[in-house]
């Protein structure tokens, strides 16, 4: 099963930059999009269906903001929009699909970089999300939480850990939350495969950051322990340039 996660920074913008051709080449079985920035009615779903995908979208109530989507070539047994977190659901941040006995949770975690109010909400979201996920893991053994977490976990995940130590996305309390997230029994699939530095999934539009690889690894496909033996390959696909993020990829073998 080839699973991808991609913050597209606007689904229609990404399509205009060649996303459909890229999908036709990569052929993911399942891909989770974050930050689609579109209402479902405004997305050309037929173009994705022509590639063999069933499409599921969960848009934010605020127009042109946030939102997530999942494309799958494997028919899901269950689809759940949201997770019961009131503000997170209002902002279209979580979409769950179940494929056989594997629960795939696509989440666009909040950014706190725009100010104190959003940073405060980010920490609230993280606290609520972890409590919710604990309940999910009690009921489901095979769980994947993919998406844009907006957090670098370790110093290896950011180009300049010293100057960014007080930056949202690399704050001590955010990194500590990631510790507790993995303590729930979740596995960082990319780091299980790849221990190399300078592997990033997001770059600022400023100062030619992408060409200089001054990036952050904030996009993840994390699995529960029951799926760890099935992790076959994981990668960041930095050559895909439809967004300020790169897609991340996981192959599971059963």
| 69 phi, psi to nearest 5 deg | -150, 155
Residues acting as catalytic residues: 148
The domain ranges of the chain are 2-252
Q: Which of 113-150 are b and which e, b meaning 16 or more Cβ less than 10 Å from the residue's Cβ?
A: eeeeeebebbbebbebbeebbeebbeebebbbbbbbbb
pLDDT given for residue 184 in this prediction: 97
Cα–Cα distance between 202 and 209 in angstroms, integer? 9
pLDDT given for residue 250 in this prediction: 98
Cα–Cα distance between 162 and 243 in angstroms, integer? 26
Exposed, middle or buried, 253 (CB in 10 Å: 0-12/13-18/19+)?
A: exposed
Cα–Cα distance between 101 and 168 in angstroms, integer? 36
pLDDT given for residue 170 in this prediction: 98
Nearest to 166 by CA among 174, 156, 177: 174
pLDDT given for residue 21 in this prediction: 98
- Domain spanning 2-252: which superfamily? Endonuclease/exonuclease/phosphatase (3.60.10.10)
pLDDT of the chain, 254 residues: tens digit per residue: 999 999 999 999 999 999 999 999 999 999 999 999 999 999 999 999 999 999 999 999 999 999 999 999 999 999 999 999 999 999 999 999 999 999 999 999 999 999 999 999 999 999 999 999 999 999 999 999 999 999 999 999 999 999 999 999 999 999 999 999 999 999 999 999 999 999 999 999 999 999 999 999 999 999 999 999 999 999 999 999 999 999 999 999 99
């Amino acid at each position: 099963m080839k699973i991808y996660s991609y913050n597209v920074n606007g689904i229609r913008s990404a399509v205009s930059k060649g996303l459909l051709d890229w999908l036709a080449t990569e052929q993911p079985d399942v891909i989770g999009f974050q930050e689609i920035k579109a209402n479902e009615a405004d997305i050309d779903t037929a173009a994705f269906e022509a590639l063999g995908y069933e499409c599921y979208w969960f848009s934010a109530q605020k127009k042109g903001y946030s939102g997530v989507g999942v494309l799958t070539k494997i028919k899901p047994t269950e689809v759940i929009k949201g997770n019961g977190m009131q503000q997170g659901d209002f902002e279209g941040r979580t979409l769950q699909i179940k494929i056989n006995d594997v629960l795939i949770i696509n989440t666009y975690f909040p950014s706190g970089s725009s100010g104190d109010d959003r940073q405060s909400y980010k920490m609230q979201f993280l606290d609520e999300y972890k409590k919710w996920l604990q309940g999910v893991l009690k009921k489901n053994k095979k769980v994947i939480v993919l998406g844009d977490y907006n957090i670098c976990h370790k110093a290896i995940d950011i180009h300049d850990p010293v100057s960014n130590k007080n930056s949202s996305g690399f704050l001590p309390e955010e990194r500590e939350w990631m510790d507790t997230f993995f303590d729930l029994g979740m596995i960082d699939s990319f780091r299980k495969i790849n221990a190399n530095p300078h592997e990033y999934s997001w770059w600022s539009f400023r100062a030619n950051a992408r060409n200089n690889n001054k990036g952050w690894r904030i996009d993840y496909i994390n699995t529960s322990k029951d799926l760890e033996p099935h992790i076959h390959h994981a990668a960041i696909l930095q050559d895909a340039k439809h967004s300020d993020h790169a897609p991340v990829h996981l192959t599971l073998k059963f």
